[in-house]
Amino acid sequence: MTAKRSKSAPRSRPVPVSRPPGPVGLPLGRSGKVHPPYGFGLWALGRWTKEDEARTRSSLLRALEKGVPWLDTAEVYGSGRSERMLGDALSDRPAGAFVPFLTTKVSWEHLRAAQVRASIQQSLHRLARPSVDVYLVHAPDPHVPIGETMGAMELLWKSGKVGAIGVSNFTVPQLEAAQAALPEAEIVVNQVRFNLLDREEGEAIAPYCRKHGIVIEAYTPLARGLLAGRYLDREKPSAELKRYAHSILDEDHFAELRDRARSLRELAREAGVPLPSIALHWLSRQGVAPLFGASQGAQVDELLEAWAVRPSDAVLDRADAIVREGRA
């Protein structure tokens, strides 16, 4: 067990080294750097009871052990506890261990320039890092001029505290306004909800992002578990999960989406691949980087095994057709 530290005490930092070989990722704007093809998110449903935190820590440690190349967090996750947990886990690793690609986010409640500056300082302290690879605006705030927020973000980029600038949950007009407010920096990432069953947000921004070299990061790539085989038989989503799951688990849509997911499960069985393989590689084939979550170490193993199996294009085409035909 590591000793407790005061809030002002600096933490030891592992020595950065080159990343291990792995699948080729996605170009990160004009930076010459590469965005990993998949990653692990530390949202943990935002609940953060002691039990939730213990499960999340266990899953994080398994992801690090397995060499997951990209880790994603945010200052709002557990009111900073997610970042601190990640910082502790990275600091406790042996010297020479590889450093994953790191992203974190400034809250939609902290988009004034002074707040952006304060948020990155607090996030870096919790993460015990001198910088992060990409810093995202978690969501736009219509009450704060986008120019003020992006101006502060560009100064962080110039200072070296962030390797690149990204956004999350931005529409195309919001992306255009944000990029127009950056004289020198570029937006390299837009993280949105995107999966086989719930694709409206992703498909709406995809043409613009491809044209401008913006990586689309997909959260909820498994549709809150539906595309991992959950809720397809007797298990039902909890009331708590429904509060965080947007419309995908609403009573009006759930039965319809479950039927499509059951058809996808049959396709996976026929093809001899795990159902999550279809969901993850459907996104990957479009140049989208899926960001999965897991509440247990065993789930991390299962999802990495699913990622390692690439369904044929014919299977992915059929999966897309199943969903589109159901929507029609």
pLDDT by residue for the chain (328 residues), tens only, comes to 444 444 444 443 333 333 333 346 899 998 889 999 999 999 864 456 788 888 888 999 999 999 999 999 999 998 999 999 999 999 999 988 988 999 999 999 999 999 999 999 999 999 999 999 999 999 999 999 999 999 999 999 999 999 999 999 999 999 999 999 999 999 999 999 999 999 999 999 999 999 999 999 999 999 989 999 998 987 777 666 666 665 666 666 788 899 999 999 999 999 999 999 999 999 999 999 999 999 889 999 999 999 999 999 999 999 999 999 866 4
Closest by CA position to 102, among listed 77, 66, 61, 132: 132
Relative to beta strand 215-219, strand 165-168 is unpaired
pLDDT at residue 236, rounded to an integer: 75
Helix (H, G, I), strand (E, B) or coil at 287: coil
CB-CB neighbours of 204 under 10 Å: 13
Closest by CA position to 179, among listed 27, 30, 25, 26: 30
Packing angle, helices 81-91 and 50-65, rounded to 10: 40
CA distance 256 to 235: 16
What are phi and psi for residue 25, nearest 5 degrees? -95, -150
- Kind and range of the H or E run holding 165: strand 165-168
pLDDT tens per residue across span 159-187: 999 999 999 999 999 999 999 999 999 99
Closest by CA position to 161, among listed 125, 202, 131, 204: 131
Task: Answer positive or negative: Cα dihedral of 89, 228, 282, 214.
Answer: negative
The whole-model pTM stands at 0.89
Relative to beta strand 26-27, strand 187-193 is unpaired
Q: What are the b/e assignments for 215-227, b being 16+ CB within 10 Å? A: bbbbbbbbbbbbb
- All residues at 6 or more sequence positions from 300 whose CB lies less than 8 Å from its CB, including other chains: 40, 59, 62, 63, 66, 68, 294
Please tell me what DSSP assigns to residue 308: T
CA distance 13 to 211: 38
Q: What is the Cα Rg of the chain in Å?
A: 19
CA distance 294 to 107: 23
pLDDT at residue 24, rounded to an integer: 63
pLDDT at residue 47, rounded to an integer: 59
CB-CB neighbours of 71 under 10 Å: 25
Number of helices (H) and strands (E) in the chain: give both, helices first.
Answer: 11, 10
CB-CB neighbours of 52 under 10 Å: 16
pLDDT tens per residue across span 277-287: 999 999 999 99
pLDDT at residue 262, rounded to an integer: 96
pLDDT at residue 3, rounded to an integer: 40
CA distance 284 to 291: 11
Q: Are 279 and 227 in contact (CB under 8 A)?
A: yes
Closest by CA position to 284, among listed 226, 207, 227, 218: 218
> Which domains are delineated in the chain?
26-223+275-310 (3.20.20.100)
Helix (H, G, I), strand (E, B) or coil at 103: strand
